[in-house]
Every structure is written in C-alpha cells, then in structure tokens.
Amino acid sequence: MRHTISVLVENKFGVLTRVAGLFSGRGYNIDSLNVAPTHDNTASRMSIVTHGDEATVEQIIKQLNKLPDVLKVQDFREGEYVDRELVLVKVAVNAKSRAEVMQITDIFRAKIVDVQPQSLTIEITGNESKVEKFIDLMKPFGVVDLTRTGKAAMPRK
C-alpha cells in the first residue's frame, strides 16, 4: 500500500541524509521525496511517498520521530491532504502531430514551456492520476525526456 508521509524538520545541514539513511538502513524504499523550506525558514517540509503495510509505516513513523531535528511526522490518509506534482515532459512532434499535442496540453491546463522544431516541452501540475493520464496520452507521440518533482503534500487542516 502506498503512503504519503509529511515530515517537518529543522532546516539544518545533514537532516536529509539522516532521514534517507533511516529508510535505506532498514530496507525501505522511497518512491518520491520532495523537500523545501516552509514559510518559517528554520523548518523544511519533506513529503515522502513509500510502500508498506500499516505495521511497516507505523515503524517508519516511530523511527522518524526518534531522529534529531524532526519536529513533526504525519502519515496522510486519503482525503486528509492536498498534493501536487510538477512534471516536465519533452514530446516529439512533427508538423502533423504538433496541433494535436498542443490541444491535449490545453485540455489538461498544462503549459508549453519550450518549442523546438522536433519537440515541445510541457509543464503539467496536478495530482498523480492527472499527471499519469497526461503522460499516457503523450506516449504515442514519443516521450523524449521526462522529469518529475515528486509529490508535494500539505495537510488540509
């Protein structure tokens, strides 16, 4: 089962290394990791997506809470949080396919951020299902390159 964990940490050197080390040292995988300062520049929020059953995630949370510089840990449940991901995808185009790719981009409220003779680079933000659907629709045209930020998540309350 996939879990999104929010970890509020002190914005200090080495904190990311300790958190990542906790996961690797215990054989847990991180599907995505997003870290950035909050409105308080002494704290950063880490959004971590991982796989595991309830017992595994409970163990991860206990271990995270024991780390120095960790201020708060939350395991988000469905509906308790808002999440977004940013993806840049470079799609191969020709004179025939360019208009169709642009039309799909417009439907998804994505933005074309670079235009080249043989490709378009598109920026799309949204939840995981929106992003995945867009990428699936771009595959027949030819995805040349792709980069993802990972999920950024915030509690609703």
Tens of pLDDT, residues 84-138: 999 999 999 999 999 999 999 999 999 999 999 999 999 999 999 999 999 999 9
Of 148, 142, 147, 144, the C-alpha closest to 90 is 144
Judged against a pLDDT cut of 90, whether residue 80 lies above it is answered with no
Residue 11 banded pLDDT, cuts 50, 70, 90: very high
Tell me what the mean pLDDT of segment 69-80 comes to.
88
pLDDT of residue 60: 92
Q: Which structure tokens are listed for 8?
A: 């509020």
Judged against a pLDDT cut of 90, whether residue 62 lies above it is answered with yes
Tell me what the mean pLDDT of segment 25-39 comes to.
91
